[in-house]
């Protein structure tokens, strides 16, 4: 057996052989990477034995918390029974089919079918093709253009990075690919000017209408957005935003794609983010909380509107992945959802720990460098401000965010910074003393900006 406990010179080996995602490798190799060895509940432990409260649930994904033996056991059982078979060419496996049914028991009436992938990025590529195929099957092959948002995030594949609105990703690789367009984001604090949040929400939503007019309604296949922009900084839209977006998509006959990769599986205190906002997507990519990150699995929820056309009109959909509906990942996901149900973690995020977290998070607004601290369920975004009375931001947003993040890290708290916004997304199992620990440590880190 491989000895995975021998970590004595792992940092050097890592520097020699391992290229990391979203990392400046030169800088990382100089510093040496942090090695995470084990985890339990909301805590992770590095190779020096240091404990961190993971207020980011890995990468927004460990919704049921770490150390769930029953998920490990479900995966091990399935691995012994049937480690792999696919869903191609007329076959399925019990976990894949039962998982599809289980997911459908938590979606709205019209979102009952799923196409499995391994990740959120693959889910993005999948709905992107589905949207085009849908219109083609309906005799509208020219409806191919897709509208997304500046500062949105939909993954790292070529389609994912193109649909995302991250400038730095576009700069690497000549993106976006053709047929993708971006409109503004509902980021009132930074871009709302003198408008009220409600008026600003309507204004940015109506950029969708203007973009459809510019491109021609008969050319546009879909609009995609995250219920709350995650990687962009936990940008919580004004309440006017989503109803107006839904109205426009319906009036202009374009598919509404709601990216549930972060918001799905309880993050906002509902099973899905679109339920929180009361809207009905035509397509909805999912991943992360589907298995709480214990094994990689994602998918696209497909509405009857789209699925009926795919089933009745399309013939073969020439798309799929070797591991679509992987039985071991599906078994882990089934157990993960069983835990979410049995421990009522979604309801807990809405009715109990969510409101406690919201009040604690909001209390940071009395700090002089905090412009705004908003949250929904267990997802929080905190805006750093140089002058909160005028909403003036710090001159070097990335530096201030990183400084706060690093102070948190030194004191055993994993937070993420996006520019001058601090983001939180803890496991749904977090308890009150652990929320207090997050807030106390973050508050002390914020003091360094005074
Ligand atoms: N969509 C959203 C909203 C995400 O936040 C992410 C990842 O963070 C993705 C898609 C891509 O998912 P993955 O990293 O599993 O490919």
**Rounded Cα gap, residues 200 and 191, in angstroms:** 9
**Are the C-beta atoms of residues 212 and 232 closer than 8 Å to each other?**
no
Q: How far apart are the CA of 154 and the centre of ligand 1, in A?
A: 5
Closest approach atom of ligand 1 to CA 152: 3
Say whether 362 sits in a helix, a strand or coil. Answer: helix
- 162-203 pLDDT tens trace: 999 999 999 998 999 999 999 999 999 999 999 999 999 999
Q: How far apart are the CA of 230 and the centre of ligand 1, in A?
A: 9
Closest approach atom of ligand 1 to CA 260: 3
> Same domain, yes or no, for 107 and 248?
yes
- 15-74 pLDDT tens trace: 999 999 999 999 999 988 999 999 999 999 999 999 999 999 999 999 999 999 999 999
> Same domain, yes or no, for 355 and 335?
no
Q: Is the pLDDT of residue 7 over 90?
A: no
Positive or negative, the CA dihedral 238, 449, 379, 294 is positive
| 436 in a structural domain | yes
- 424-450 pLDDT tens trace: 999 999 999 999 999 999 999 999 998
Q: What is the rounded average pLDDT for all residues in the chain? A: 97
* Atom 10 in ligand 1: residue holding the nearest Cα: 154
Q: What is the pLDDT of residue 450?
A: 85
Q: How far apart are the CA of 1 and the centre of ligand 1, in A?
A: 33
* Atom 12 in ligand 1: residue holding the nearest Cα: 120
Q: How many domains would you assign to the chain?
A: 2
Domain boundary among 342, 357, 377: 342
- 357-377 pLDDT tens trace: 999 999 999 999 999 999 999
Q: Is the pLDDT of residue 6 over 80?
A: no
Position 153 confidence tier, pLDDT thresholds 50, 70, 90: very high
> Same domain, yes or no, for 432 and 309?
no
- The CATH number assigned to the domain holding 403 equals 3.90.1150.10
Residues with CB under 6 A from ligand 1: 59, 119-121, 124, 153-155, 226, 230-231, 259, 261-262, 287, 298
Domain boundary among 342, 370, 392: 342
> Same domain, yes or no, for 181 and 279?
yes
Q: What is the mean pLDDT of residues 138-143?
A: 97
Domain boundary among 316, 342, 368: 342
> Same domain, yes or no, for 205 and 306?
yes
| 276 in a structural domain | yes
> Same domain, yes or no, for 144 and 278?
yes
| 2 in a structural domain | no
Q: Is the pLDDT of residue 215 over 90?
A: yes
Mutate which of 234, 261, 321 for ligand 1? The one with the most ligand atoms within 8 Å of its CB, which is 261
Q: What is the pLDDT of residue 2?
A: 81
Give the H/E segment covering residue 70: helix 69-81
| 327 in a structural domain | yes
> What percent of the chain has pLDDT above 70?
100
Compute CA 203 distance to the chain's CA centroid, rounded to the nearest angstrom.
Answer: 25
| 164 in a structural domain | yes
Q: What is the mean pLDDT of residues 334-357?
A: 98
Closest approach atom of ligand 1 to CA 121: 16
Q: What is the pLDDT of residue 3?
A: 79
> Same domain, yes or no, for 351 and 280?
no
Q: Is the pLDDT of residue 139 over 80?
A: yes
Q: How far apart are the CA of 233 and the centre of ligand 1, in A?
A: 14
> What letter would DSSP give residue 87?
S
> What percent of the chain has pLDDT above 90?
96
Give the H/E segment covering residue 407: helix 397-410
Q: How far apart are the CA of 274 and the centre of ligand 1, in A?
A: 17
**Are the C-beta atoms of residues 428 and 342 closer than 8 Å to each other?**
no
Q: How far apart are the CA of 153 and the centre of ligand 1, in A?
A: 7
Range of the domain at 105: 71-342
Q: What is the pLDDT of residue 109?
A: 86
Closest approach atom of ligand 1 to CA 230: 5
Give the H/E segment covering residue 203: helix 197-215
| 418 in a structural domain | yes
Q: How far apart are the CA of 62 and the centre of ligand 1, in A?
A: 14
- The CATH number assigned to the domain holding 202 equals 3.40.640.10
* Atom 13 in ligand 1: residue holding the nearest Cα: 120
Closest approach atom of ligand 1 to CA 155: 11
ipTM of the complex: 0.99
Q: How far apart are the CA of 234 and the centre of ligand 1, in A?
A: 14
Q: What is the mean pLDDT of residues 112-136?
A: 98
> Same domain, yes or no, for 105 and 231?
yes
| 19 in a structural domain | no
Q: How far apart are the CA of 261 and the centre of ligand 1, in A?
A: 6
Closest approach atom of ligand 1 to CA 288: 15
> Same domain, yes or no, for 142 and 245?
yes
Q: Is the pLDDT of residue 8 over 80?
A: no
> Same domain, yes or no, for 338 and 355?
no
- 217-275 pLDDT tens trace: 999 999 999 999 999 999 999 999 999 999 999 999 999 999 999 999 999 999 999 99
Q: What is the pLDDT of residue 335?
A: 98
> Same domain, yes or no, for 324 and 428?
no
Q: Which two tokens stand for residue 212?
A: 């459809």
Position 5 confidence tier, pLDDT thresholds 50, 70, 90: confident
> Same domain, yes or no, for 231 and 124?
yes
| 24 in a structural domain | no
* Atom 1 in ligand 1: residue holding the nearest Cα: 154
């Amino acid at each position: 057996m491989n000895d995975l406990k021998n970590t004595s010179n792992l940092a050097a080996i890592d520097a020699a052989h391992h290229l990391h995602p979203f990392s400046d490798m030169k800088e990382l190799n100089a510093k040496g990477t942090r090695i995470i060895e084990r985890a339990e509940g909301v805590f992770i432990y590095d190779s020096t034995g240091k404990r961190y409260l993971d207020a980011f649930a890995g990468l927004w994904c460990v919704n049921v918390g770490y150390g769930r033996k029953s998920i490990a056991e479900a995966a091990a059982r399935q691995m012994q029974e049937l480690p792999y078979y696919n869903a191609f060419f007329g076959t399925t496996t019990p976990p894949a089919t039962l998982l599809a049914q289980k997911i459908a028991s938590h979606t709205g009436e019209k979102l009952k079918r799923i196409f499995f992938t391994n990740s959120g990025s693959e889910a993005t590529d999948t709905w992107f093709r589905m949207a085009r195929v849908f219109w083609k099957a309906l005799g509208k092959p020219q409806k191919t253009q897709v509208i997304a948002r500046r500062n949105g995030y939909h993954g790292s594949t070529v389609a994912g990075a193109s649909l995302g609105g991250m400038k730095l990703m576009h700069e690497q690789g000549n993106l976006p690919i053709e047929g993708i367009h971006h409109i503004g984001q509902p980021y009132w604090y930074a871009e709302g000017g003198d408008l009220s949040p409600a008026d600003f929400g309507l204004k940015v939503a109506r950029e969708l209408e203007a973009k459809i007019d510019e491109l021609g309604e008969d050319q546009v296949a879909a609009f995609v957005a995250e219920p709350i922009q995650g990687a962009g900084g936990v940008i919580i839209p004004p309440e006017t935003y989503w109803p107006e977006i839904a109205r426009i998509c319906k009036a202009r006959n374009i598919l509404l794609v709601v990216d549930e990769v972060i918001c799905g599986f309880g993050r906002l205190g509902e099973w899905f983010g679109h339920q929180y906002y009361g809207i009905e997507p035509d397509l909805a990519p999912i991943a992360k909380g589907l298995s709480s990150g214990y094994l990689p699995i994602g998918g696209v929820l497909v509405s009857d509107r789209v699925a009926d056309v795919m089933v009745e009109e399309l013939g073969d959909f020439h798309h799929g992945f070797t591991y679509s509906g992987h039985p071991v990942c599906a078994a882990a996901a089934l157990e993960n959802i069983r835990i979410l149900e049995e421990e009522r973690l979604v309801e807990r995020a809405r009715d109990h720990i969510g409101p406690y977290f919201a009040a604690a998070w909001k209390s940071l607004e009395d700090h002089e460098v905090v412009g705004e601290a908003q949250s929904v369920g267990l997802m929080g975004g905190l805006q750093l401000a140089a002058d909160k009375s005028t909403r003036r931001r710090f001159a070097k947003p990335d530096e201030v965010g990183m400084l706060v993040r690093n102070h948190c890290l030194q004191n055993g708290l994993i937070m993420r910074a996006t520019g001058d916004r601090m983001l939180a997304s803890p496991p749904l199992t977090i308890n009150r003393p652990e929320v207090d620990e997050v807030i106390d440590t973050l508050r002390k880190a914020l003091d360094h900006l005074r």
